[in-house]
Structure 1
């Protein structure tokens, strides 16, 4: 499902249920039922239809928008067998911890912002009329060790571009995992009609800049003194990849 596509509804109640959950990212089942203002039997029927059509998913009484973004892949690396797949809500804590592990040792301001947004919304996936986001994770023995993430604006003039972040825990680097994650994100963007992805990196993050450059990314611009890091003004390097 390409993120900007909108679900279609057979009736106003189903639309109202979906949009309530969409606005909140996640929602407790009983609160959605109260907002829908229909009988428990009617609510159950509408909810089951939305889940059957793949619009919503439920876990332990919490409802969220479902976003199908691809298959599961496994790779053998020097570090062990790595699985790369779409992120699930069950990955939430591991995903946030991984992003924080990466940003603790290097300057990656955009990724820090992504982690804070996840915590604020308490949801991995996001799909609204304004924007969507897609996450893929790399896992080893069930633990999240890396991610790639795309922010997808729905504004007409920006709908062919996406912001991408990618990172791997320091202990699992130099095994090709970051390259696999980056490729997965770019392949998804290409398959869904995006023409450009971009990333913003502080100029002092040589590791990230070198990694992106080695995979065909180029510098599209520099914003002077854009960040304040450890009391110093640091340039922002705008990196882009044309698909």
Structure 2
């Protein structure tokens, strides 16, 4: 679903706890407790109330604003079995590694930016009044081998569009994993009322451009000499998928 409507609070302490977590995307329980300026007993009461109302959720000492991302799906090919599921906080390092594995062999500037943003935020999930972030991952034997990511602005004039990135580690391509990940992201966006997703790819990334084109994406425009890659000026191809 879309990020929940702005919650209402019975007191300032509950509001303070929620806003601390919202600003950080996810937060360690002890850091939220330290920021709350109340006793441990009172903190637990307020946290329990926020969790009961569905405003916050907790997993192993990590507190976050929940976004409903759906279920775990399993697929089998002739060569392997893999799952596609919502990313978890524990996937953080594996997702960054997967993105870096992909961008080490092909130029995917937007994905590189996503990896840097993850490292800056130090969390997979992100939900504030300005934007949210959604990740799905593909795993083989618990190893993250691919991802799809949706950047979801909450600014009113942009609420119907989302940026999508998708990638699969080179060793796991040719198994349909990228198609499943792309479909999962598109299905989520359509089900939650988005009318368009978009992505931008350097004109030299033939693999990404062919993949998106084969799945119904259209070129909306080209920005000449937008990137500097290996000291060469490269065009940016702006692509989109409309529901």
Shift of 1:13: 1.8
Question: Which residue number corresponds to residue 90 of structure 1?
Answer: 90
Shift of 1:46: 0.9
Question: Which residue number corresponds to residue 132 of structure 2?
Answer: 132
CA contact (8 A) 2:130 2:154 kept: yes
CA contact (8 A) 1:147 1:166 kept: yes
In structure 1, C-alpha distance between the alignment counterparts of 2:171 and 2:5, rounded to whole Å:
38
In structure 2, C-alpha distance between the alignment counterparts of 1:5 and 1:183, rounded to whole Å:
26
Question: Which residue number corresponds to residue 13 of structure 2?
Answer: 13
Deviations 1:37-67 (A, max 9, x none): 2222111011122233443333443433332
CA RMSD of aligned residues (A): 1.4
The unaligned stretches of length 5 or more in structure 1 are none
CA contact (8 A) 1:108 1:205 kept: yes
Deviations 1:168-215 (A, max 9, x none): 000110111100000000000000000000000000000000000000
In structure 2, C-alpha distance between the alignment counterparts of 1:180 and 1:190, rounded to whole Å:
15
Partner-residue secondary structure (3-state), 1:222: strand
Question: Which residue number corresponds to residue 33 of structure 1?
Answer: 33
Deviations 1:55-85 (A, max 9, x none): 3333443433332211111111233111111
TM-score scaled by structure 1?
0.95
Question: Which residue number corresponds to residue 197 of structure 1?
Answer: 197
Question: Which residue number corresponds to residue 170 of structure 2?
Answer: 170
Partner-residue secondary structure (3-state), 2:193: coil
In structure 1, C-alpha distance between the alignment counterparts of 2:38 and 2:76, rounded to whole Å:
51
Partner-residue secondary structure (3-state), 2:166: strand
CA contact (8 A) 2:26 2:126 kept: no
CA contact (8 A) 1:4 1:154 kept: no
CA contact (8 A) 2:148 2:181 kept: yes
TM-score scaled by structure 2?
0.95
Question: Which residue number corresponds to residue 74 of structure 1?
Answer: 74
Measured at CA, do residues 11 and 97 of structure 1 come closer, stay the same or move farther in structure 2, by a change above 3 Å? same
The unaligned stretches of length 5 or more in structure 2 are none
Deviations 1:110-152 (A, max 9, x none): 0000001101111101000100010000011111000000000
Q: Report whether the alignment pairs 1:230 with 2:230.
A: yes
